[in-house]
Structure 1
Amino acid sequence: MSAGAPARAAAARAVAAVLGPGHSLDEHLGAAVAGLSGPDRALATQLAYGTLRLYPRLERWSGLLLARPLPAREAEVRALLALGLYQLEASRVPDHAAVAATVEAARSLGRARHAGLLNACLRRWLRERDTLKARVARDPEVIHAHPRWLLDALARDWPRDWEAVVAANNQQAPMWLRVNAARSSRADWLARLQAEGGAAEPWDPAPEALRLAAPLPVESLPGFAAGDVSVQDGAAQLAAGLLAPAAGMRALDACAAPGGKACHLLERHPGLDLTALDVAPDRLERVRENLARLGLAARVVAGDATDPAGWWDGRPFDRILLDAPCSGTGVIRRHPDIKLLRRPGDVAQLAARQAAMLEALWPLLAPGGRLLYATCAVLKPENSAQAAAFLARHPEARALDLGEPGWGRRSGPGRQLLSGEAGVDGFYYACLLRPA
């Protein structure tokens, strides 16, 4: 077997799971790379992420090389062709090695009858790529490596900024950390990291946040196993400060999995009475694991935020965090499969679910309480329009003016961070207040 063929086969399996059944990359990548050596595992991961990051462009190029489209059942072959083009155009892999290992991967996947097709397509690309590229050079999907519907939506909502958002989406995201404020100061932990040869920069709007100069394995982070530090994007860390609970308050994290924001709240406020709710019982295991590693305690409950009767004890909450299910358009650089998994109609469906959650949770908020509405999205129907519509339906509610905190920009009743600004993910926050 050609050197690197197992890594290509594993990457193709993971990409095919996204192209075929429409599963997320996270669901299948771990199983796909299991059993590979460390270097092959790293290569497979890089190839899978890179291929999906540029897939709308690679798909258009693939179409130029095929006499007829490959059937849906041949998702692994489609993935291998895209994988080969990615290596030839966006990696440092030598051309001959990329072609040979990709063709061999087809055989190891049981697609030997397509090995000749892949070989012919990739070698044709090497001979004719300038001419072939010119044929689709003006296609928006080729220029920006995003589906057309998403480009249109971004341009509509952010006419001055959409190209910067798209460019950020096509880059690998930096690794952000959250220092456990209950155990150490950010400056002290950074000194420990620097003593071991690491480097990171703080971000003032999030007092516990550090952006690593280069990604590191979590096991190499000083004190990670002991709970001194966690991995969490800087934008996500803003939630704890905006919710602003006090010790002894009763708080609800309504969509808690995997638990990063819940743990951050407990690190800052050890006396907080926190309920971590999520509709998916299996995802709540991640919440329990994170709480255990950090030595924190919360009430972990499986339940649907739109149906409080199934889990609520009738006692109001002083603080509610609703990090609502959304399109994920603010975290595409971390989850490039979102480009393929999302469809034009999804945004309206998600917005309807977000509105249902807001309506169900609002009566659970105590007088004088605060509900923080958040999404990791950048499209206005899920964000500023959602918050504004809620306030229109509830004249008793008001939005907290967040002022000019040094991040994002005003957007309706809240503030919007666009993907890549200050190196953080795209996020929206609006603080909704119930009068005392």
Structure 2
Amino acid sequence: MNTREIAIKILCSFEKDLKLKPHFERLTKQLNFRDKSFVREISSGSVRFLKLLDFSIEKTSGKKQKKQKDVVRNGLRILAYQLFFTAVPPYAALNETVEAVKKLNRKGAGFVNAVGKKLIHFDYRKEVAKIPDEMERTATLFSFETWMVRRWKRFYEDWEKLLEGLNKTPPLFIRINRIKTTPENFAKLLKAADIEFEPHPFLPDMFRIKGRINISSIPGYREGFFYIQDPASFLAAVLLNPAPEEKILDIAAAPGGKTTAIASITKGKAKITAVDVNENRLKLLKENVRKAGFRCKILLEDITQTTSLPENHFDRILLDAPCSATGVIRRHPEGKWNKNINLIKHNQKLQKALITSAYKLLKPGGRLLYSVCSLEKEEGEENAKYAVSIGFKPAQFDIKFEGVGKVYKNTMRVFPHTDNMDGFFYAIFEK
């Protein structure tokens, strides 16, 4: 199969379960890095702009996308994406996509060719501007569910800039593992390997890797010198401010980004306990801990039920809670289409149960850092109020960054469009 055939197959599978990563990984195993990157670009890009692409295809074809065969529908999507958002020459995109459709559904190729010729000259901005309802118009242009746009307009003044930020492909950041190296030494390794990079503006342990690169080709990949992590995720561990010898609990810890970050900050000298309810993800955590080169207690536990963990025991707890993950949509565009209000409410109940359990496990005078990669107030600010209602005291962040995020009392939010990182909420408490 060629790259466009594979992209079409990925989208056909995506439609069935609204998941992208497993289908991408399954269907691109045999591809080289360059082809894999192209398939990722056109498949995830098509999912990112799904609503806009379907609007444009329906306008040019005069037919509803839902009524098309899946290969035809998704062939048109990857074609429209190439025409609107990539530098692929229009007629090359058209010819190659029609050939891919022909191999998967010969009868549909002629239709894709005819609609594709119209798409080449289609001005989607002009057509979207004719949609009378502001929310529907904005949701179509930026390609989000309309209910999401309505909510975020209510929550955030710069909501359109937020939508724009969530549509941008995220940069690649790596966090240095201080157990095995230092930022200075690692920078020398990158320079020696001719890898372009730049230090993060306020997190010295992080570098942004420029251009497209095969992760396994970065020096120290096998040795565990670094961990791929967004600055917002690392910031949760930084704001926890862990110290060597402290007893630290990481709740919902798998696959280990924050556990290994805590270990790196304390150079492997904190007494870390990491718990998670998912056995498969716990295997990833164990592997990441092994690779990072430190020891910690790893437990398969649901702390909202009966737990083996001692009460009033931990100096610091990091609760990066399971959430709707609307803050990481730029990284996982399928998140635009697999969320709903019920999911947010369900998550909030779980988050409250975790906060309640964390209160029992934290020692008096200890600190809890609560975080979620969510833009939803229910999962952020409302839960911060709940934490206070059960006995937590709002605290001050030990570490502050000038001009970063929106800080209000003991809470902080960061955003893609203002901070160049995933959308996260943090709150700090004392018992």
Aligned to 1:84: 79
Percentage identity across paired residues of the two chains: 28
Change (3 A) 1:70 1:405: closer
| SS of aligned partner of 1:184 | coil
Which piece of structure 1 moves more, 44-53 or 313-322? 313-322
Distance 1:204 1:399 in 2: 28
Call closer, same or farther: CA 1:72–1:357 in 2, change over 3 Å: farther
- TM-score, normalising length: structure 2: 0.90
C-alpha contact 2:312 2:360 (8 A) present in aligned 1: no
Counterpart of 2:16 in structure 1 is 20
Query: What CA distance in whole angstroms lies between the structure 2 residues aligned with 1:417 and 1:66?
Result: 41
Correspondence for 1:371: 368
Unaligned regions of 5+ residues in structure 2, if any?
132-136
- Contact 1:205 1:238 (8 Å CA) reproduced: no
Question: Is it true that 1:53 corresponds to 2:48 in the alignment?
Answer: yes
Corresponding residue for residue 110 of structure 2: 116
Question: Are residues 124 and 237 of structure 1, via their aligned partners in 2, closer, same or farther at CA, if it must alter by over 3 Å?
Answer: same
Task: Please state whether the residue corresponding to 2:299 is helix, strand or coil.
Answer: strand
Match of 2:57 in 1: 62
Deviates more, 1:397-406 or 1:268-277: 397-406
The change in CA–CA distance for 1:104 and 1:313 in structure 2 (over 3 A counts) is farther
Comparing 265-274 with 70-79, greater Cα deviation is found at 70-79
- SS of the aligned residue for 1:341 comes to coil
1:397 lines up with 2:392 in the alignment: yes
Matched, 1:126 2:123: no
Contact 1:388 1:412 in 2 (8 A): no
Amino acid at match of 2:119: W
* 8 A Cα contact 1:416 1:427, kept in partner: yes
Query: What is the Cα deviation at residue 292 of structure 1?
Result: 1.8
- Paired with 2:244 and 2:378, the residues of 1 have a C-alpha distance of 35
1:425 matches 2:417: no
- Superposition deviation, residue 350 in structure 1: 1.9
CA distance in 1, matches of 2:186, 2:31: 34
Q: 1:41 to 1:280 in 2, by over 3 A?
A: same
Partner of 2:301: 303
Evaluate the alpha carbon distance shift between residue 120 and residue 242 of structure 1 in structure 2; reply closer, same or farther with a 3 A threshold: same
SS at match of 1:226: coil
Look up the SS of the partner of 1:382 in the other structure. Answer: coil
- Asked if the contact 2:125–2:141 (Cα under 8 Å) also holds between the matched residues in 1, the reply is no
Aligned to 2:134: none
* Cα 1:366/1:53, change in 2 over 3 Å: same
More deviation, 204-213/27-36: 204-213
Whether the 8 Å CA contact 1:387–1:412 is kept in 2: the answer is: no
CA distance in 2 between counterparts of 1:299 and 1:337 reads 34
Give the letter for the 1:342 counterpart: K
The two structures have a TM-score, normalised by structure 1, of: 0.89
CA distance in 2 between counterparts of 1:77 and 1:284 reads 40
Looking at structure 2, the residues matched to 78 and 400 of structure 1 have their Cα atoms a distance apart, in angstroms, of: 53
Counterparts in 2 of 1:297 and 1:79: CA distance versus 1, 3 Å: farther
What's 1:289 paired with?
A: 287
Please say if 1:157 is aligned against 2:155: yes
Distance 1:233 1:112 in 2: 43
State the secondary structure of the residue aligned to 2:204: strand
What do you get for the CA RMSD once the two structures are aligned?
Answer: 2.3
Q: CA deviation at 1:106?
A: 2.5
The residue that corresponds to 1:141 in the other structure is 139
> Which residue of 2 is the match for residue 203 of structure 1?
200
2:242–2:265 CA contact under 8 A, matched in 1: no
Moved over 6 A (4+): none
Cα distance per residue 1:42-63 (max 9 Å; x no partner) = 2111111211222221121122
Number of equivalences:
422
What is the Cα deviation at residue 135 of structure 1?
A: 3.4
Aligned partner of 1:245 in structure 2 is: 242
